[in-house]
DNA sequence: TTGAAAGCGCTAACAC
DNA sequence: GTGTTAGCGCTTTCAA
């Protein structure tokens, strides 16, 4: 245990360089030498020291992924896909949870384990373009999430506004006339909520419906409990909605449970659509209609973009903004 | 960008050691010196190189967490808690997904990014005591999951057998006489399924019920789809069950959806209990009864045990096996 | 309180 | 095809 190249070299009676060649699969090593070195490696149980290797080569083979919280299925699924995509390229992923808190997102901008991480994938919630612009850390970074964040940073996401507009129109096409939105967030924070809200308004306009402020409810964290509470509020309105667009599936699932509890039939009396396509939604009763972003495409595209930036070794002259696809998946919760 | 201690030292007109002292918050540095050094650090935008620091100190501040897949809520929640617990101690977590595949679990045993990782938290599915015993990597490792894995490795988990027994008895106490089990796995693989099955049989015995092999269904991966399929099989039996113990919540949620689809009232005709306490279950209709392991305790205990092993710096003379608590949470799916 | 210098384990340039 | 050696950026004796 704890042996190094020198130990192996000594045991095999060769130089350090030769051992290094064998370890790294360098071709020009004679078969006998290779065998002898391999024997020494096995005998000593030698493992290359990744830290020393990184220091020397300037590459660690580690990416960082910063998300609000893995407890939210969307981020868990995304993380899962990112980890697999990175593994495909021989990279490992280090996870950072920000809870969507501004101070913790700023820490991510400042740099995580400087030089221990070759690149960063970041899904910010609270940060805006201004903060992004102020970043000085030179580690390559790719943002995950909404398209249209007009910052200086590389970016992979779907067209949120268009998707939200389509979701809203979908409800209108199913005969909904009073369509609520759950998930609006206070100004200054995340682009996600703002963009989905913008899409919602456009969708209403497309259908010739008026925006009723009473039908627009906030939800700072996109959790089930907030969806439940917001739905309860909506049901107490003198003129409750007949359709609800929730800004993510968790909110929709919470709303759905609230509707069940109050005995409101879905989709007959209230139709529902979510966003994210959490697997959970397809097993709910009724199954949940949703916007399904192509998460696999987001993950692989982002990883590959990041790796290309790492390989280039220099800051991009202009940011790349890549768009992944999505689909509207109509299920039982809006079938009417 | 890309400045190092030497650059800072030169600019501040002090030695490298002094800069290092300032960076590391060493107390015996005069106020003026500290100020001057800090100014130089700010001017150059200096960030300590974590890799170099690790190589020198032998500590990276990185833990690895190896789980089957983050797409499964239990592992996502656990990962979330582990990441937070590690952060409390200044550690970052690197994620590895094994898919529960033996070959990939063996890779974890072999060592992930040797020396770049101070310790490993591992939730194996396929590996048994034999493989664990053969491990030669000296990196401290703590197993997450089932108690009673009588291997040579440190371990934190709940008493699965007792919990499963209690879940089964719970259904019997609610009047169920034909209690099925979904989630059995073929011999040789994971302790989890085996232990929950053992608990199931004990629970049946406690209630004076016979084991009916037709009511015991396999599920290799503990996913929703498998729960759905298994439930469908059970409903086609000439004498279908009146209660089902699913070895995790995902299986139970799949089963629940199947029951809904077939119009079988839950819990009146078939009562259901799961395992893991995924938040999803408490928002299902009917809400899902479950065994709720104290995941936060598992995460913090495991991280602290691992850190203590890292600090000790030597292999443990004997493995520690720590047990976290759990609770049976009775909800609507078994309320009768 | 601060400085000088060695060395963590590896890779890569250069020699032979 | 193989060996020698410098040095990645840092911490850490040891001196001063």
Condensed to tens digits (0 to 9), the pLDDT of residues B217-228 reads 999 999 999 999
Q: What Cα–Cα distance (Å) separates residue A184 from each residue in A57, A201, B2, B235? A: 47, 12, 41, 43
The residue among B225 and B130 whose pLDDT is bigger is B225
Domain with residues B5-48, CATH architecture: Orthogonal Bundle (1.10)
Task: Say yes or no: Cβ of A14 under 7 A from any atom of strand D.
Answer: yes
Domain ranges, ordered by start, for chain A: 5-48, 60-158+295-325, 160-293+328-334
Interval A207-212 mean pLDDT: 97
CB B169 within 8 A of CB B204: no
A138 exposure class (CB count in 10 Å sphere: 0-12, 13-18, 19+)? middle
The separation, in Å, between residue B56 CA and nucleotide D12 C1' comes to 9
CA A229, A233, A235, A238: dihedral to nearest 10 degrees?
180
Q: What Cα–Cα distance (Å) separates residue A335 from each residue in A145, A172, A270, B172? A: 29, 12, 11, 39
Task: Say yes or no: Cβ of A45 under 7 A from any atom of strand C.
Answer: no
pLDDT in tens, A48-93: 999 999 999 999 999 999 999 999 999 999 999 999 999 999 999 9
- Strand C bases, protein C-beta under 7 A: 1-5, 7-13
Q: Please give the mean pLDDT across all residues of chain B.
A: 93
Q: Please give the mean pLDDT across all residues of chain A.
A: 93
Q: Which of residues 104-143 of A touch strand D (CB under 7 A)?
A: none
pLDDT in tens, B135-153: 988 899 999 986 666 678 9
Residue A80: list chain B partners with CB under 8 A: 69-71, 97
Partner-chain contact A114 B47, CB within 8 Å: yes
The separation, in Å, between residue A212 CA and nucleotide C11 C1' comes to 66
* CA separation for the pair A188, A20 (Å, rounded): 53
Q: Which of A105-119, B82-96, B235-249 has the lowest mean pLDDT?
A: A105-119
Q: Which of residues 1-20 of A touch strand C (CB under 7 A)?
A: 2, 4-6, 16-17, 20
Interval B286-314 mean pLDDT: 95
**pLDDT on residue B81:** 98
pLDDT in tens, A162-189: 999 999 999 999 999 999 999 998 755 6
**pLDDT on residue A136:** 87
Residue A276: list chain B partners with CB under 8 A: none
Q: Which of A141-150, A311-320, B151-160, B177-186 has the lowest mean pLDDT?
A: A141-150
Task: Say yes or no: Cβ of B52 under 7 A from any atom of strand D.
Answer: yes
Q: How many CA atoms lie within 13 A of B41 on its CB side?
A: 17
**pLDDT on residue A28:** 81
CB B203 within 8 A of CB B174: no
Among A15-29, A109-123, A284-298, the range of highest mean pLDDT = A284-298
Of all residues in chain A, the one with the smallest CA distance to B79 is A70
pLDDT confidence band for B235 (50 / 70 / 90): very high
Q: What is the CA radius of gyration of chain B?
A: 25
Q: What Cα–Cα distance (Å) separates residue A146 from each residue in A154, A157, A322, B115? A: 11, 5, 10, 37
From A202's Cα to the closest Cα of chain B, the distance in A is 31
Partner-chain contact B253 A54, CB within 8 Å: no
Name the residue closest to C9, CA to C1'. Answer: A52
Of all residues in chain B, the one with the smallest CA distance to A78 is B71
**pLDDT on residue B183:** 96
**pLDDT on residue A29:** 83
**pLDDT on residue B27:** 77
The residue among A9 and A327 whose pLDDT is bigger is A327
Partner-chain contact B84 A97, CB within 8 Å: yes
**pLDDT on residue B145:** 83
Task: Say yes or no: Cβ of A48 under 7 A from any atom of strand C.
Answer: yes
Q: Which nucleotide, over all strands, has the C1' atom closest to the CA of A114?
A: D9
**pLDDT on residue B1:** 59
Other CB atoms within a 10 A radius of the CB of residue B187 amount to 7
Task: Say yes or no: Cβ of B59 under 7 A from any atom of strand D.
Answer: no
Name the residue closest to D8, CA to C1'. Answer: A56
**pLDDT on residue A106:** 94
**pLDDT on residue A1:** 59
Percent with pLDDT over 90 in chain B: 72
Partner-chain contact B94 A94, CB within 8 Å: yes
On the question of pLDDT at B187 being above 90, the answer is no
Partner-chain contact B80 A96, CB within 8 Å: no
pLDDT confidence band for A225 (50 / 70 / 90): very high
On the question of pLDDT at A190 being above 70, the answer is no
CB A37 within 8 A of CB A14: yes
**pLDDT on residue B72:** 95
H or E stretch at A141? strand A141-146
H or E stretch at A217? strand A216-218
The residue among B166 and B26 whose pLDDT is bigger is B166
* CA separation for the pair B62, B92 (Å, rounded): 5
What is the phi-psi region of residue A273: left when phi exceeds 0, alpha when psi lies from -120 to 50, beta otherwise? beta
Partner-chain contact A97 B76, CB within 8 Å: no
**pLDDT on residue A180:** 98
Residue B48: list chain A partners with CB under 8 A: 114
Instruction: Enumerate the H helices of chain A as residue ranges.
Output: 5-12, 16-23, 31-44, 50-57, 73-88, 102-110, 129-134, 160-173, 191-206, 224-235, 249-261, 279-283, 295-312
- Strand D bases, protein C-beta under 7 A: 1-5, 7-13
**pLDDT on residue A78:** 97
Q: Which of A193-202, A287-296, B33-42, B284-293 has the lowest mean pLDDT?
A: B33-42
Partner-chain contact B111 A280, CB within 8 Å: no
Partner-chain contact B95 A97, CB within 8 Å: no
Residues with Cβ < 8 Å from B62, sequence gap 6 or more?
Answer: A94, A113, A116, B91, B92, B93, B94, B116, B117, B118
Name the residue closest to D2, CA to C1'. Answer: A18
From B202's Cα to the closest Cα of chain A, the distance in A is 31
Partner-chain contact A1 B138, CB within 8 Å: yes
From A110's Cα to the closest Cα of chain B, the distance in A is 9
Best mutation target, A48, A70, A227, A246, to test chain B (most B CBs within 10 A): A70
Q: Which nucleotide, over all strands, has the C1' atom closest to the CA of B4?
A: D9
In the three-class reduction of DSSP (H, G, I as helix; E, B as strand; rest coil), residue B222 is classed as coil
Fold matches, B5-48 and B60-158+295-325: no
Partner-chain contact B71 A77, CB within 8 Å: yes
Residue A314: list chain B partners with CB under 8 A: none
- B60-158+295-325 in CATH: which number? 3.40.50.2300
> Which DSSP letter does residue A152 get?
S
Residue A112: list chain B partners with CB under 8 A: 92
Percent with pLDDT over 70 in chain B: 97
CB A198 within 8 A of CB A163: no
Superfamily grouping for domain A160-293+328-334: Response regulator (3.40.50.2300)
pLDDT confidence band for B32 (50 / 70 / 90): confident
**pLDDT on residue A129:** 85
Q: Which nucleotide, over all strands, has the C1' atom closest to the CA of A16?
A: D3
Interval B277-281 mean pLDDT: 96
Partner-chain contact A55 B52, CB within 8 Å: yes
Query: Among A80, A257, A284, whose Cβ lies nearest the Cβ of B97?
Result: A80
* pTM of the model as a whole: 0.95
Q: What Cα–Cα distance (Å) separates residue A125 from each residue in A68, A192, A251, A252? A: 7, 8, 17, 20
């Amino acid at each position: 245990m704890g042996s190094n190249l020198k130990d192996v070299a000594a045991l095999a009676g060769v130089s350090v360089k030769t051992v290094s060649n064998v370890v790294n699969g360098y071709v020009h090593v004679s078969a006998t030498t290779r065998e002898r070195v391999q024997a020494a490696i096995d005998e000593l149980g030698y493992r290359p020291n990744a830290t020393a290797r990184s220091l020397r080569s300037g590459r660690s083979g580690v990416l960082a992924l910063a998300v609000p919280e893995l407890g939210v299925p969307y981020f868990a699924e995304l993380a899962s896909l990112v980890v697999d995509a990175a593994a495909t390229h021989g990279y490992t992923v280090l996870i950072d949870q920000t809870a969507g808190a501004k101070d913790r997102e700023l820490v991510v901008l400042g740099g995580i384990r400087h030089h221990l991480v070759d690149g960063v994938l970041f899904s910010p919630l609270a940060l805006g373009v201004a903060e992004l612009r102020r970043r000085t850390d030179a580690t390559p970074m790719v943002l995950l999430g909404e398209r249209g964040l007009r910052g200086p940073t590389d970016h992979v996401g779907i067209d949120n506004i268009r998707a939200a507009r389509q979701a809203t129109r979908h409800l209108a096409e199913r005969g909904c006339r009073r369509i609520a939105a759950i998930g609006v967030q206070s100004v200054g924070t995340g682009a996600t909520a703002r963009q989905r809200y913008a899409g919602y308004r456009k969708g209403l306009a497309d259908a010739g419906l008026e925006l009723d402020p009473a039908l627009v409810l906030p939800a700072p964290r996109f959790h089930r409990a907030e969806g439940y509470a917001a739905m309860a509020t909506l049901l107490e309105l003198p003129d409750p909605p007949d359709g609800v667009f929730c800004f993510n599936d968790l909110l929709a699932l919470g709303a759905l449970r609230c509707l069940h509890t109050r005995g409101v039939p879905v989709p007959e009396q209230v139709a529902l659509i979510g966003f994210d396509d959490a697997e959970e939604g397809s097993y709910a009763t009724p199954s949940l209609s949703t916007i399904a972003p192509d998460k696999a495409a987001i993950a692989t595209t982002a990883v590959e973009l990041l790796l290309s930036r790492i390989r280039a070794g220099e800051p991009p002259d202009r940011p790349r903004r890549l768009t992944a696809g999505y689909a509207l998946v109509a299920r039982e919760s809006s079938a009417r």
